[in-house]
Amino acid sequence: MPVLAKRENEIDQLQQEEASSPWREGWKSFKKNKVALIGAGIVLFFVIIAIFAPLLAPYGVNDQELSIRNTPPSFEHWFGTDDFGRDIFSRVLYGARISLWVGLVSVAGSVILGCFLGIIAGYYGRWIDTLISRIFDIMLAFPSILLAIAVVAVLGPSLQNALIAIAIINIPNFGRLIRSKVLSVKQEEYIMAARAVGMSDGRILFHHVLPNSSAPIIVQATLAIATAIIEAAALGFLGMGAQPPQAEWGKMLADSRQYIIQAPWTVLFPGLAIMLTVLGFNLMGDGLRDALDPKMKN
């Protein structure tokens, strides 16, 4: 037993040395990418306003004053008001909470389930791999937004059900990505050595295979958050996501589309918020991809 434990420690040390060096180099490369830092700054900005929305908002998120319906931007109402006399600036701030929450939680669920299925398929192969891969293929055969609409139609329109739908439609993307990575990682020397000393499959998968497959997952997750925000806005626009009076950016666009001519500010600022948030995550994701992917080094 002492010999076995010593060999396992040696394998762990070898794996950690191989994994830590790319992460350090990736971080140095990311810091040199000015565009990626701009994206990270945009994301950080929206995270801060989402956290401190109650302190930053000059009015309550659902405070109504019908006498100032659809008034243009002014010193009292920086982004103007909507058709209920609600302050758009305050609602945009609170909308950041909902959009970021949906994006982060839905992608986290997709990563957990997708990685679990992808690791099992890639590591064990055979009929398990065939079954899981065919399930992924069937899910990918449907356009993502149509599949999300179908899921919400079954569960019922609500923000929580929209979150579940977005998580479900992104599972195949992470599953196929981690599966392809596992197929190559499991042939590495430290994995073969771990098997030779009798290390359990569970420890090999979660202590060796998964950490060495995490770089592409992090990149894909960052980009998927941007996609999830757009999908949540689309479901909200269709009335299948956030429900009144929730201040969700897509729902704000849907409620104001009939006033786009006489009160364009009611759709301008929620649309800009969606665009900037998605842009920030995309720029940061591209920077992470360039930093962590060895093929992009040159």
| For the chain, domain boundaries | 2-296
Q: Identify the band that residue 22 occupies on the pLDDT scale cut at 50, 70 and 90.
A: low
Lowest mean pLDDT among 50-59, 90-99, 104-113, 235-244: 235-244
Closest CA to 221 of 104, 116, 47, 119: 104
Helix axes 88-124, 265-292, angle to 10 degrees: 30
Q: Which two three-digit tokens encode residue 105?
A: 């939680």
Q: pLDDT value at position 49?
A: 92
Q: Terminal CA-to-CA distance of the chain, rounded, Å? A: 46
> Residue 81's beta-bridge partner residues?
87
Q: What angle do CA 41, 42, 44 make, to 5 degrees?
A: 65
β-partners of residue 87 are 81
**How confident is the model over 60-64, as a mean pLDDT?**
85
pLDDT-derived band at 44 (thresholds 50, 70, 90) equals: very high
The DSSP line for 237-248 is HTTSSS-TT---
Neighbours of 24 (CB within 10 A): 9
Residue 245, preceding peptide bond in cis (omega within 30° of 0): yes
For the chain, percent of residues with pLDDT exceeding 70: 84
**In whole numbers, what is the pLDDT of the chain averaged over residues?**
82
pLDDT digits (tens, 9 = 90+) for 163-195: 899 999 999 988 888 888 888 777 766 677 767
Classified by CATH at the fold level, domain 2-296 comes out as MetI-like fold (1.10.3720)
Instruction: Tell me the residue type at 170.
Output: N
pLDDT at 78 over 50: yes
Q: Residue 294: its pLDDT value, please?
A: 52
**Measured distance CA(211)–CA(15) in Å, rounded:** 9
Structure tokens at 206: 């979660």
Interior CA angle at 149 toward 146 and 152, to 5°? Answer: 155
pLDDT score at 89: 92
Name the percent of the chain lying above pLDDT 90: 15
* CA–CA gap between residue 282 and residue 275 (Å, rounded): 10
Does 232 score more than 60 pLDDT?
yes
- Structure confidence at residue 1 (pLDDT): 47
What's phi and psi for 87, nearest 5 deg?
A: -70, 120
Q: Taking residues 129-136, report their average pLDDT.
A: 89
Q: Which regions of the chain does DSSP assign to beta strands (E)?
A: none
Distance (Å, whole) CA 30 – CA 292: 9
Q: What is the pLDDT of residue 113?
A: 92
Residue 35, pLDDT above cutoff 50: yes
pLDDT for 13 beyond 70: no
- Cβ of 153: how many Cβ atoms within 10 Å? 12
Residue 297 pLDDT > 60, yes or no?
Answer: no
* Residue 219: band (very low, low, confident or very high) from pLDDT cuts 50, 70, 90: confident
